[in-house]
Chains A and B, each alone.
Chain A
Amino acid sequence: MTGLLLKDLLYLKKQGRVFLLLLAFYIIFFATTGSGIDQITSLLLTLIPMIPMIVLTNAFAYDELSKWNTYALTFPLTRGKLVFARYLLTLLLTCIMALIPLFANLLFGSLSAETFAAIYAAFGASLLLCEILIPLFYQFGTQKARFALLVIVFIPTLGVFFYKQLRLAAPSSEQIVFLLKISPLFLLVFFAVSYYISCKILENKNN
């Protein structure tokens, strides 16, 4: 499985310069326009789910292009490990992307409970989106699943819209704390379900 993860990281290394340049550009842009750490954090928060999703999509697209899975199935690895490597990549990328604003805020001494909660929420959202995407990529391939991605990204917007339309009361801080506390368990269960579905899809491919 290390080999599979290494393959994705090697690919990422080749593509990584673009992401680093993009990140550097935004940070320099915000810094030179007199924006504070809060603005930079906001930017970094949006990148937490965005970068892993882009990398994941590209990794699947490249695998499809080179028919990597057909080759990888000749390795002394189970299908489960083949699938697990992709989840590991997602976790690794999301952690790295979440650590950047965390360290930036620690460096500037501006890490408040709200900022930490926001970083954690973006981290959770990233994992959740990737866990939805991975089975879709296995089932439909990247071309078709990209349309599903548009729908998935639209769902939270729709949620917020209806939330406002229904004029529901904002959740209390106790409710938010409770949601944050149970979220790791929710993410874990969601991961297990997503992983199981992905394994089943791969198992039934070509059968």
Chain B
Amino acid sequence: MEDILTVSNLCKDYPSFHLQNVSFSVPGGSIVGFVGENGAGKTTTIKLILNEMKRSSGSVKIFGLDNIKDEQKIKEQIGVVFDESYFHGEFKAGDIASILRAVFKTWDDELFDRYLNQFKLPKNKTIKEYSKGMKMKLSIASALAHRPRLLILDEATSGLDPVVRSEILDIFLDFIQDESHSVLFSSHITGDLEKVADYVVFIHEGKIIFDRSKDDLIYRYGVLKCGSNDFQRVDKDDLVRWRKTDFGYEALVTDRDATQRKYAGLVVDPATIDDIMLIYVKGGKS
């Protein structure tokens, strides 16, 4: 599968924060979950991808084109949804269509109307009368109605109830049925990513910790749980990271089955993305 987005050694220096050599790719027909705690560098990376801020070094290729040199050409084919609606509260859905029709060459009124109906968004109400979920659905409808090839979502499902989130996730799954489409989905709601993501990129303190297939993480990674005495017997080379809890130790392992075989008496649970993030962020190697 051809990569739709390739980020290579992207760096951005702030006085108190450094994005360091961020590299990952988004293959065609896939959803890539971009996870990390608040302030880890997700939004900075997305803004650099969109050329909304100047990078210190590195490169970004989208559809094989440079994101700065070919910015206009690329942005015709990208749909972006942020964590909140950026439309004026006085506008109605029809006003948004009028504006975006003049912005995007490929704007499709029929498709926009179809999304409005599907999302049950009233056309006669102003945006300020919409609920948070409705505003987010309008943002998604607006991002999809110019038929983009790449959808970039920055915390787009945060603050939404599970029913709305599930509806939105279905839209994303439907979107990537076309192999030339992809989604980069930044979120700290890891449950959403477990449902739809094909790959997970984890960023922590401005550095990419891993870029793995979700199935790899869910089916191979594990959390070894044991008391202090048992923990002393465990070979630390078998562990990625660990942390001390009230009940003993929790350690992350990359091969659950192998660990279970080696330490037969100990509990090795499947790891969720939440577990992995937590042990990476809160745990250590000593």
Contacts and interface: CB of A to CB of B under 8 A. Distances in A.
B72 A78 contact: yes
A71 B99 contact: no
B76 A76 contact: yes
Interface string B42-61: 00000100111110000000
Interface residues of B, number: 31
A73 B52 contact: yes
The 5 closest A-B pairs by CB, nearest first: A3-B102, A71-B86, A3-B103, A76-B75, A74-B80
A75 B72 CA distance: 8
B98 to A, nearest CB: 6
Interface string B92-124: 000100111111100000000000000000000
Interface of A: 2-4, 6-7, 10-11, 14, 62, 65-68, 70-71, 73-78, 206-207
B82 A71 contact: yes
A68 B86 contact: yes
Nearest to A206: B53
A70 B102 contact: no
A75 B54 contact: no
A14 B53 CA distance: 33
A73 B98 contact: no
A74 B78 contact: yes
A66 B99 contact: no
A74 B67 CA distance: 12
A67 B82 CA distance: 11
Given A206-B53, A207-B53, A2 B102 contact: yes
Contacts of A65: 88
Contacts of B87: 66, 71
B86 A67 contact: yes
Contacts of A4: 99, 103
Nearest to A203: B54
B102 A6 contact: yes
A141 to B, nearest CB: 16
A78 B80 CA distance: 17
A200 to B, nearest CB: 13
30 contacts: A4-B103, A6-B102, A7-B88, A7-B99, A10-B91, A10-B95, A10-B98, A11-B88, A11-B90, A11-B91, A62-B90, A66-B85, A66-B86, A66-B87, A66-B88, A66-B89, A70-B52, A70-B82, A71-B82, A71-B86, A74-B50, A74-B52, A74-B78, A75-B75, A75-B103, A75-B104, A76-B71, A76-B75, A76-B103, A78-B71
A10 B80 CA distance: 23
B116 to A, nearest CB: 18
Contacts of A2: 102
Of the candidates A65, A71, A77, A206, the one having the most CB atoms from chain B within 10 angstroms of its own CB is: A71
A206 B53 CA distance: 6
B53 to A, nearest CB: 4
Given A11-B88, A71-B80, A76-B73, 16 more contacts: A4-B99, A6-B98, A6-B99, A11-B90, A62-B88, A66-B86, A66-B89, A67-B84, A73-B50, A75-B104, A76-B74, A76-B75, A76-B103, A78-B72, A207-B53, A207-B54
Of the candidates A11, A14, A62, A75, the one having the most CB atoms from chain B within 10 angstroms of its own CB is: A75
Contacts of A74: 50, 52, 75, 78, 80
Contacts of B74: 76
A3 B72 contact: no
A13 to B, nearest CB: 9
Given A70-B82, A206-B53, A76 B104 contact: yes
B91 A76 contact: no
